Amino acid sequence: ETELPVVDFTPAPALSNLSFYDGAAFPKWNGDALVGSLKAGSLYRVRLKTTAAPEVERLLVNFGRIRDVAVGASGDVYLAVEHGENGSLWRLSPLP
């Protein structure tokens, strides 16, 4: 038996990595998936609910090829981003 996907990314943004958020820095995101994309250069936040359609928010747009997404011990979000032949590591944290 085949099941349809819960979240549809059309057109395909070449998804890279995802991490489920569990931290204190962005408490409203707890349990949400943070998904990077290579082609769209976007970071998505996906809230999966059992009774309703998933909520998808683009947190970053045209940021660069997001290769990896990780959540640090303090709850900050770390992104490994490719820019042409170079790369960089970014930390997302709430405003003070």
> pTM to 2 decimals?
0.89
- In this structure, which amino acid lies at residue 7? V
- How large is the average pLDDT for residues 23-51? 93
**Pair type for strands 65-71 and 55-60:** unpaired
List the one residue out of 51, 52, 12 whose CA is nearest residue 35: 12
Tell me, what amino acid is at 5?
A: P
Do 26 and 32 form a contact (C-beta atoms < 8 A)? no
**At residue 50, does pLDDT exceed 80?**
no
Per DSSP, the three-state class of 27 is helix
CA angle 39, 53, 70 (to 5 degrees): 45
* Location of structure tokens 């976007």: 42
The answer to whether residue 52 scores a pLDDT higher than 80 is no
Q: Read off the pLDDT of residues 54-86 as tens digits, 9 standing for 90 and up.
A: 899 999 999 999 999 999 999 999 999 998 889
